């Protein structure tokens, strides 16, 4: 990580706070899943926190994001409410989607969070359409489309980049290359002789590759792309290289022992972004140990509140079944 | 001064689009060749000149992407009307339509709204063969969250399209390609026809012909023949498959005691099955004969004209089926 | 020595794949995570180790491309078996399946052959919400040129999959995700079950329960309850929706005079409609009561467990519907 | 065009012969369409003959091609039978598809012509799958996938290139950039700041742009890519820049006056490939005027035979309707 501190302290605090909140949220969800409180499919974002956080803190509150099946981090980083998110994962009516969507469909339309998505690549069209909408309404809003390395192989990715470039839409495509699509390694499914960004460059998009475990680098890359898009400079592309430290989902036993070694995993843990940023904040004397502890205590309290909220919330009534089919 | 002219179906649709574009600044059209060229069936002719390139957008050939962008735009305050040139090409956009557009309102617990219309040309008759002639309404009607509209007349087309556009849900609007030139009276003023209300296109006593889209004309002409044979046929046009006005259909069948359901989609597992099954169940005690179904032939639509014609339900089939119901 | 063991549905499918891979060198499997990982439901576990990476291929996440490649390979002498992980993702490959695979034989006047199997996981019950729980068999069965198979037991799964693989047409093979762990006797030797032949899973006199896939178990358990009430239910499993063995269904209904059709797909415009419409028409004179249909709820499948469960047809519904047919 | 003659005479004769046959076929089809003998949708290849011809003559007889809605040229160039093709366009039972496919589905499986296609981009999957099949069978066959500039915006294009590159499949993607997709100009629908080949290069495919009206240049580019693919060098990409001299289809009145000027069209006629190649053959003394006239007479005779054949053929019997739904 950079050894100059050129971001202001409030921002740095927020970056750490959100990253930490995401980590703790995921750990909590994992715990509650094992107890049967969290239900459905659960894909954890542990190890990738710097990407969502760095990108979302470069956005305005009314900017849009589209998320993925691994979406808790995006929602939290964009300012979403962990209480309602956790309640959703538990299938409670107080959840973001009244318990009807679950983890893969959590959304907060008022915060511009257009939704997680169960379809790999499901966000491409929506994000680009939101950007088209913002441009038509002249609203100054930028949209960020988060997607995985696996999703980069869905054809619609190319279709929307062509349109985004043709119409110079304010959208930034952020590829979270966490080295896996489910149980398949990145380079077994995706041409790796060229960077994924080459696909975007083929449409004239400015592209950048960034260390996705370095929240400051991510933030800066995102800020540049977002500012350019907002200023009318058209779409951008960022590949954030990170690593998925948990299994693909909770059903992936042994944290992926079918497709990676313990050594690889241990090695990657040494580069994990939350501890790394914490160490950097200390080292560069941005915050003292006690200040960090204080932030962490706030996060803990917020998580505890979320757990209580979810636990205390009722499941949806059966009458909910046929509601919201049509608006 | 209700100024009612004779318009073609294409003109009626264009008029609805133009009036809604004027009325609602959040509305815009997108599709392949719909702008400068005015669409391959000339339906959108002149609209780009009138409303500009931002309101009437030509797109790349990217059906999935187009539908996807429309979903995103609909979620964020716009009201897109997409044209998918031939309904066969819906297959390329199914994920966007079925997994995203149809389900987002529900999956987000009511937060998201997707006010989106997808207009698409359906039906055989132009020698365009198996990939340009399908009628996939059964698919669309199967999916909760979608509304499905099938206008049979210019009047219905204008009024139903306006309702579809003003609806807050994704609506699939199926336009029969052979009917674009069909003429009929259309009021010049603003009017809407609610989605979910069938229309009795001809009243009768002896047999109910439930017919969709261009099959309404087939049913009407069969009814004419049958009248000459002393059989009084009632023609009921559901107008929308979803919502389906089953009360109107049942009311008619309870009166006549006999029913034939006609739709151009493939017969098997098609639209006629749903309507026939509902009638056979809910009008069971009123039926004097089994409910009959006439659908498109269960074959990929062939190019050769005589073969192609044989795939489309026609008057003769309807008349003979009706005769069969009376044991003739 | 007919060595019949108890296998799970997943094991039976795996055994069919392994045996066919050994038998036919032109056969290969492709799909997301089916190789090293053995598939998300472990169905293909061990096959890549046994047959190598060329025969059991892991693919990128590109459903349209995968299906498209399979069509091209099938046209040119290979016999691909594709896995589309969840049937909801078929929506991404519809053009390839419906416009290409299903129609090529016909469109080329019989020249092209597309011996292709698409295996896909269907059904709700795993809390996976609206985009991972659909049962789109009605769509597939609507398309001429496709065959559609829905095994209900391990025995059927093995025999039907072998027939599907040896068939020269594109076959959609729908595997209920909740049934993968269902156990049943499966012969170790080679056997096939022809496509288009229904199976009476329980004989009875008073009412016919036509049930597909996992609904067969639901029907069987309802039949058990009904037996206790003095109602003798016959359970007919069509096993394939296309071709559909309507004779077997009609034969049963003509005997019992009453029918309930059960399928997990959305009720409206679903599989139950076709089967009910056929019965209501062709067994009209034999029916003592209207044909009833029980389908999946017409809603996107919700995540919350109690709501999700309420979308899937269950024993109680079948029993109550049957009671209704006897005026109880 | 090149001013050295470095191809053998038999090949040059064949190149001219096929180009001329395609041109005359299209003119004849156009004529018969106006008389109502040719039915259905009709997309003419006039102006683009050099592409199909140059590419297909670089192929072996058992190599595969996939074609498009504008497919007559590809089929003829690959050695297809104009009698059966014309009969097909007329909906006769003697046609390639027994009259059931028409222009958009003409195929000759025995010649490796896997079919025209009514779906823009419909050939991508099939071609790449045929290449996968050839590789699995170790047959040495190469597949060429013809597609238009408009088709390059269909997402499946990118999906198959990823797989072709990943698995090093023997397939060559040939983009016929004829400057239009229906009534929309190339650069209105397709990002033009980058060549289309950049999309292929993003997957590591060797790419080349060639003058698609220069049959020799096309042949050489194709030969190189095909030979490389056959030798195990993996997929290739060629953009052939040409121009559609007729309307999009027969319904496009005034040869496209809605979207191009008379002047543009006249200018492009001056560069049309058949006359250009003829002039080159004369100029470089490959053939004399009388030799060319002789070739042309053969072509004329072949076309006349085709017309007679089609005219004399019956339409399919109604019993054909339900045949060939299942194999
Ligand atoms: C269209 C589609 N295909 C397949 C899946 C199954 N699936 C869920 S996540 C996943 C891997 C996605 O990989 P990537 O995009 O890299 O995201 P990551 O899980 O690594 O965050 C797959 C194949 C799906 N949900 N949707
Ligand atoms: C999936 C699909 N979308 C739209 C069409 C309608 N259509 C037929 S040809 C064509 C233009 C194709 O352009 P291009 O690929 O450049 O080929 P060209 O016609 O120029 O040879 C379009 C849009 C179609 N047939 N298929
Ligand atoms: Mg990944
Ligand atoms: Mg073109």
Q: Cα of B176 to ligand 2 centre, how many Å?
A: 20
Task: Mark out chain C residues that contact chain A at CB-CB < 8 A.
Answer: 32-33, 36-38, 40, 58-62, 64-65, 88-89, 92, 126-132, 297-300, 302-307, 310-311
Q: Cα of A149 to ligand 1 centre, how many Å?
A: 9
B63 catalytic? Reply is yes
C87 contacts D301 by C-beta, under 8 angstroms = no
Residues of D in contact with A165 (CB under 8 A): 191, 193
Nearest CA in chain B to C106: B300
- ipTM reported for the complex surpasses 0.95: yes
Count the helices and strands in chain A (H runs, E runs).
12, 7
State whether B109 and A129 contact (CB < 8 Å): no
DSSP label at A42? -
Looking at the complex, report in whole angstroms how far the Cα of residue D161 sits from the nearest Cα belonging to chain A. Answer: 9
In a domain, A317, yes or no: no
Confirm or reject contact between D201 and chain A (CB < 8 A): yes
Residues of B in contact with D89 (CB under 8 A): none
Q: Which residues are paired to C122 by β-bridges?
A: C176
Neighbours of chain A (3+ CB pairs under 8 A): B, C, D
Closest ligand to Cα C92: 1
Indicate which residue of C20, C132, C274, C308 is catalytic.
C132
C201 contacts C191 by C-beta, under 8 angstroms = no
State whether C74 and D129 contact (CB < 8 Å): yes
Q: Cα of B125 to ligand 2 centre, how many Å?
A: 20
CA–CA distance, A54 with C232 (Å, rounded to integer) = 66
Average of per-residue pLDDT across D54-78: 98
Q: Cα of D248 to ligand 4 centre, how many Å?
A: 9
Any idea which of A184-198, D198-212, D245-259 has the lowest mean pLDDT?
Answer: D245-259
Interface of C with B in 82-141 (CB under 8 A): 88-89, 91-92, 94-95, 98-99, 102-103, 106-107, 129-131, 138-139, 141
CA–CA distance, B17 with D297 (Å, rounded to integer) = 55
pLDDT at residue C54, rounded to an integer: 97
Domain boundaries, chain C: 4-187, 199-325
State whether D119 and C75 contact (CB < 8 Å): no
The rounded mean pLDDT for chain C is 97
φ/ψ (deg, to 5) at D185: -70, 150
DSSP label at C143? S
If one counts the domains in chain A, the total is: 1
A91, A188, A260, best to mutate vs chain C, most C CBs in 10 Å: A91
Instruction: List Cα–Cα distances, D254 to C60, D249, D250, D257, D275, in angstroms.
Output: 45, 11, 10, 5, 23
Confirm or reject contact between A184 and chain D (CB < 8 A): no
CA–CA distance, D238 with D229 (Å, rounded to integer) = 13
Reported as a pLDDT band with limits 50, 70 and 90, residue B3 is confident
Reported as a pLDDT band with limits 50, 70 and 90, residue C41 is very high
Closest ligand to Cα A153: 1
* Pair of tokens at residue C272: 């139950």
Neighbours of chain C (3+ CB pairs under 8 A): A, B, D
Residues of D in contact with C74 (CB under 8 A): 129
Reported as a pLDDT band with limits 50, 70 and 90, residue B311 is very high
Closest ligand to Cα D148: 2
SS3 D30: helix
In a domain, D325, yes or no: no
State whether A193 and D165 contact (CB < 8 Å): yes
Q: Mind listing the pLDDT tens digit for each residue in C227-238?
A: 999 999 999 999
What would the DSSP string read from start to end of B4-19?
EEEEEHHHHHHHHHHH
Reported as a pLDDT band with limits 50, 70 and 90, residue D3 is confident
In a domain, A281, yes or no: yes
B65, B273, B283, B308, best to mutate vs chain C, most C CBs in 10 Å: B273
Q: Cα of D22 to ligand 2 centre, how many Å?
A: 21
Task: Tell me: pLDDT of C2 over 80.
Answer: no
% chain C with pLDDT above 90: 98
CA–CA distance, B137 with B115 (Å, rounded to integer) = 19
CA–CA distance, C116 with C75 (Å, rounded to integer) = 9
- The ligand 2 atom at the shortest distance from the C-alpha of residue D121 is 1
Partner-chain residue, chosen from A190, A251, A318, that has the shortest CB–CB distance to C60: A190
Closest ligand to Cα B129: 2
pLDDT at residue C1, rounded to an integer: 45
Partner-chain residue, chosen from C292, C298, C302, that has the shortest CB–CB distance to B281: C292
Reported as a pLDDT band with limits 50, 70 and 90, residue C193 is very high
CA–CA distance, A202 with A280 (Å, rounded to integer) = 37
Q: Any idea what the CATH number is for the domain that residue A209 is in?
A: 3.40.50.970
In a domain, A318, yes or no: no
Among B122, B117, B118, B113, residue whose Cα is nearest residue B152: B122
Average of per-residue pLDDT across B309-319: 98
User: Is-cis flag, bond preceding C243, omega within 30?
Assistant: yes
* Pair of tokens at residue D278: 């003829």
Q: Cα of A181 to ligand 1 centre, how many Å?
A: 6
Burial of C230 (0-12, 13-18, 19+ CB in 10 A): exposed
Q: Ligand 2: which of B85, B88, B94, B121 to mutate, judged by most atoms within 8 Å of the beta carbon?
A: B85
C4-187 and C199-325, same CATH topology: yes
SS3 B211: strand
Task: Tell me: pLDDT of B1 over 50.
Answer: no
CA–CA distance, A220 with A202 (Å, rounded to integer) = 23
CA–CA distance, B241 with B243 (Å, rounded to integer) = 6
Indicate which residue of B15, B63, B83, B308 is catalytic.
B63
pLDDT at residue D2, rounded to an integer: 84
Task: Tell me: pLDDT of B328 over 90.
Answer: no
State whether A131 and B64 contact (CB < 8 Å): no
Q: Ligand 1: which of A119, A149, A173, A182 to mutate, judged by most atoms within 8 Å of the beta carbon?
A: A182
Ligand 2 contact via D73 beta carbon (within 6 Å):
no
In a domain, A325, yes or no: no
What would the DSSP string read from start to end of C146-170?
-EEE---SHHHHHHHHHHHHHSSS-
* Pair of tokens at residue B78: 């716009």
Dihedral sign for Cα atoms in the order D187, D192, D198, D199:
negative
CA–CA distance, A88 with D299 (Å, rounded to integer) = 72
Buried b (16+ CB within 10 A) or exposed e, C275-293: bbbbbbbbbeeebebbbbb
The rounded mean pLDDT for chain B is 97
Looking at the complex, report in whole angstroms how far the Cα of residue D47 sits from the nearest Cα belonging to chain B. Answer: 22
Q: Cα of A110 to ligand 3 centre, how many Å?
A: 28
Q: Mind listing the pLDDT tens digit for each residue in A234-261?
A: 999 999 999 999 999 999 988 888 899 9
pLDDT at residue B2, rounded to an integer: 58
- The residue range of the domain holding A228 is 9-309
- Beta strands C147-149 and C240-242, pairing class: antiparallel
Nearest CA residue ID for atom 20, ligand 2: D181
CATH of B4-187, one of 3.30.460.30, 1.10.3720.10, 3.30.70.270, 3.40.50.970: 3.40.50.970
Neighbours of A56 (CB within 10 A): 28
Nearest CA residue ID for atom 12, ligand 2: D181
Burial of B225 (0-12, 13-18, 19+ CB in 10 A): middle
SS3 D31: helix
pLDDT at residue D253, rounded to an integer: 83
Q: Which residues line ligand 1 (CB under 6 A)?
A: A 68-70, 118-120, 148-151, 178, 180-182, 244; C 32, 61, 63, 85, 89, 92
State whether A189 and C59 contact (CB < 8 Å): yes
> What is the third-level CATH fold of B199-325?
Rossmann fold (3.40.50)
Burial of C47 (0-12, 13-18, 19+ CB in 10 A): buried
Residues of D in contact with C77 (CB under 8 A): 133, 137
* Pair of tokens at residue A36: 């049967």
More confident residue, B2 or C38: C38
Residue with tokens 């399209």: B161
Strands (E), chain A: 64-66, 143-148, 171-177, 180-181, 184-185, 207-211, 236-241
Interface of A with B in 151-210 (CB under 8 A): 155-156, 159-160, 162-163, 166
CA–CA distance, A64 with A56 (Å, rounded to integer) = 9
C132 catalytic? Reply is yes
In a domain, A1, yes or no: no
Strands (E), chain C: 4-8, 27-31, 56-58, 79-86, 117-122, 147-149, 171-176, 183-187, 199-202, 207-211, 233-237, 240-242, 259-266, 292-296
Q: Cα of A211 to ligand 3 centre, how many Å?
A: 15
Average of per-residue pLDDT across A99-124: 98
pTM tops 0.90, yes or no: yes
Q: Mind listing the pLDDT tens digit for each residue in B164-206?
A: 999 999 999 999 999 999 999 999 999 999 999 999 999 999 9
């Amino acid at each position: 990580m950079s050894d100059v501190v050129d971001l202001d302290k409030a921002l740095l605090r927020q970056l750490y706070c959100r990253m930490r909140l995401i980590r703790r949220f995921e750990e909590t969800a994992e715990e509650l899943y094992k107890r049967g409180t969290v239900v459905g499919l659960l894909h954890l974002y542990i190890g990738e926190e710097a990407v969502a956080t760095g990108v979302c803190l470069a956005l305005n509150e009314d900017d849009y994001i589209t998320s993925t099946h691994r979406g808790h981090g995006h929602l939290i980083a964009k300012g979403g409410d962990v209480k309602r998110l956790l309640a959703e994962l538990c299938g409670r009516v107080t959840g973001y989607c009244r318990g009807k969507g679950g983890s893969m469909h959590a959304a907060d339309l008022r915060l511009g969070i257009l939704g997680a998505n169960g379809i790999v690549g499901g966000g491409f069209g929506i994000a680009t359409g939101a950007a088209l909408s913002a441009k038509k309404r002249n609203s100054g809003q930028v949209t960020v489309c988060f997607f995985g390395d696996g999703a980069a192989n869905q054809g619609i990715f190319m279709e929307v980049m062509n349109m985004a470039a043709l119409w110079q839409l304010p959208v930034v495509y952020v590829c979270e290359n966490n080295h896996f699509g489910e149980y398949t390694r990145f380079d077994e499914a995706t041409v790796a002789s060229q960077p994924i960004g080459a696909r975007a460059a083929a449409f004239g998009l400015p592209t950048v590759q960034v260390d996705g475990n370095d929240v400051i680098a991510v933030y800066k890359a995102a800020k540049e792309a977002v500012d350019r898009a907002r200023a009318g400079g058209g779409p951008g592309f960022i590949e954030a290289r990170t690593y998925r430290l948990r299994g693909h989902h909770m059903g992936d036993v042994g944290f992926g022992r079918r497709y990676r070694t313990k050594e690889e995993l241990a090695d990657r843990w040494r580069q994990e972004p939350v501890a790394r940023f914490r160490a950097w904040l200390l080292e560069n004397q941005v915050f003292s140990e006690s200040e960090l502890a204080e932030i962490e205590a706030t996060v803990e309290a917020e998580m505890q509140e979320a757990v209580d909220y979810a636990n205390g919330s009722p499941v949806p009534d059966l009458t909910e079944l046929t509601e919201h089919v049509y608006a | 001064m209700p100024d009612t002219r004779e318009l073609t179906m294409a003109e009626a649709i264009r008029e609805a689009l133009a009036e809604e574009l004027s009325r609602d600044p959040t509305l815009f059209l997108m599709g392949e060749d719909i702008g400068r060229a005015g669409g391959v069936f000339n339906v959108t002719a002149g609209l780009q000149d009138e409303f500009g390139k931002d309101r009437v957008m030509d797109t790349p050939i990217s059906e999935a992407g187009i539908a996807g962008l429309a979903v995103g735009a609909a979620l964020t305050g716009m009201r897109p009307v997409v044209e998918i040139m031939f309904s066969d090409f819906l297959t390329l956009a199914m994920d966007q339509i079925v997994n995203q557009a149809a389900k987002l309102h529900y999956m987000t617990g009511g937060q998201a709204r997707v006010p989106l219309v997808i207009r698409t040309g359906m039906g055989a008759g132009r020698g365009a063969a198996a990939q340009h002639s399908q009628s996939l309404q059964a698919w669309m009607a199967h999916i909760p969250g979608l509304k499905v509209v099938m206008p049979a007349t210019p009047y219905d087309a204008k009024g139903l399209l306006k309702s579809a556009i003003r609806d807050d849900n994704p609506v699939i609007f199926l336009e029969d390609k052979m009917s674009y030139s069909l003429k009929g009276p259309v009021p010049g003023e603003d009017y809407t026809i609610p989605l979910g209300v069938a229309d009795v296109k001809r009243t009768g006593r002896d047999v109910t012909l439930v017919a969709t889209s261009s099959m309404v004309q087939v049913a009407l002409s069969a009814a004419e023949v049958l009248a000459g044979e002393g059989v009084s046929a009632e023609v009921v046009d559901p107008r929308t498959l979803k919502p389906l006005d089953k009360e109107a259909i049942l009311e008619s069948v309870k009166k006549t005691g006999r029913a034939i359901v006609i739709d151009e989609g493939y017969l098997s597992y098609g639209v006629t099955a749903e309507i026939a099954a509902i009638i056979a169940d809910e009008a069971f005690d009123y039926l004097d004969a089994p409910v009959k179904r006439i659908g498109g032939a269960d074959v990929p639509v062939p190019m050769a004209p005589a073969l192609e014609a044989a795939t489309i339900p026609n008057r003769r089939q309807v008349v003979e089926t009706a005769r069969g119901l009376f044991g003739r």
